[in-house]
Structures are given as structure tokens and as C-alpha cells.
Amino acid sequence: MKLKARRISQDLRPHLSKPVIPYLTEGLGSGPPPGDLAAASMIFIGGGELAELPNLMKALSREPLAGLPVLLHMDLVNGLANDESGLRYLATLERLDGIITVRPHLAPVARKLNLPCILRLFLQDGRAVERGLQVIERWQPDAIEIMPGVSFLEVAERFSNLPMPCIAGGLIRTPELVSRIIQAGAKAVSTTNAALWALNRAAGRSPV
């Protein structure tokens, strides 16, 4: 299989220049994309059917979204295998720039396919933090998404020396909480809350 050339590299930091990553769970709908969506520096997609992916990728190829990196939470796509065969299929989608997964062993496979990989970690207690750090050291994903996002405020110091950026997602409902999480060291937060996407318009942060 001939690998597609990606518009972004394994280093995701230059694409985390805005504080909020919109997380789409129901596609784009039939209308024009919200202006606040276009103000982002990256888009996450989760959910939906495998058969819908090509049309969604086509919609994301139109302006004003054509220049934004798109990463797919492959675990949540109905009909898509959560394994190497599923990754090989995703690697054929030219508009797709990377993946999100809870399966750490897919990180090196994705890397071979030129797909940056964000590993999602659920940190429900101290043991999960320790296991998460061990998993990161072993599998070396390109970025980490910590769930729920509010937990990042408690564990930020433990993740501060990682070589890859941290993103926080889940239970983030106010601009004030977004600000606190960014100040604690997260490069961005991901959210389905469209009201928070507007924060990207006022963001003056430079790429890291």
C-alpha cells in the first residue's frame, strides 16, 4: 500500500495554537459550518458510521475548513475495526490527518502509516495515573488526551515532563475552566460544547 503524504507531521504542537479543539460527534449537518469551528487550529471527530466517513471527509475538504487538520477517534466509528486493518483503511483517506484511540499498541502502527496518534487516557484514580505514565513510556504516542479534562488540574505536574503535548477533554463547561487547564500546562482542551469554540476567536496564543 502506497502511503499518503500527510499535511501534518508527527509533531502536533504547531497545530495546537488555539485553546479549544472542536469535537464533532454528528458530522457537519447540511448547513454551512459554524464560524467558530473554522476558527480552530484542529478538529476532532468521533462517532458515526464507517460508510459515512468518505462524505464527511469530502465536506471537511471544503472552505473554510479545508486547511484544518482532522483527527478521528477510530474506536467510536461503527463498522471500523479497531486494529491494524482499520488503520490501513484510514490511511487511504487523504483528508484524514491522524487518529485518536484508547489502544496504545496502535500508536507505532499508526506512525508507520504516517498517521499521528493521540492516546486517550481515562484517569479515574492514582493507579490509573501510574499505569498511564507507564503506557506512555512504552508506546510513545504523539500526544495524550486526558479524560476527564477536569482531572488534568490534579495531575498536571505528573505529566509536565512528557516529550509529547497533553490535551484535556471531558467535563469542561466554562471559559474559566478552559483557562485554568491551559495555565496548568495543557496545550488545548477538546470539547463538544460549541459555546466554548468561540474562545478560539479571541485567542492570542502563539504556536508552541
In which band, very low, low, confident or very high, does the pLDDT at 47 lie, cut at 50, 70 and 90? confident
pLDDT at residue 207, rounded to an integer: 40
Q: How far is CA 46 from CA 37, 73, 157, in A?
A: 15, 5, 29
Q: Average pLDDT of 99-123?
A: 97
In which band, very low, low, confident or very high, does the pLDDT at 3 lie, cut at 50, 70 and 90? low
The whole-model pTM stands at 0.93
pLDDT at residue 120, rounded to an integer: 98
pLDDT at residue 31, rounded to an integer: 64
pLDDT at residue 71, rounded to an integer: 98
Q: What percent of the chain has pLDDT over 70?
A: 93
Number of neighbouring beta carbons within 10 Å of residue 34: 14
User: For residues 123 and 180, what is the distance between their CA atoms, to the nearest angstrom?
Assistant: 18
> How does DSSP assign 20-54, residue by residue?
EEEEESS---SSPPPHHHHT-S-EEEE-SBGGGHH
Instruction: Tell me the pLDDT tens digit for each residue of 127-143.
Output: 999 999 999 999 999 99
Domains of the chain by range and CATH? 15-201 (3.20.20.70)
Instruction: Tell me the pLDDT tens digit for each residue of 153-168.
Output: 999 999 999 999 999 9
Instruction: Tell me the pLDDT tens digit for each residue of 9-38.
Output: 889 999 999 999 999 998 887 666 778 999
* Cis upstream peptide for 148 (omega within 30°): yes
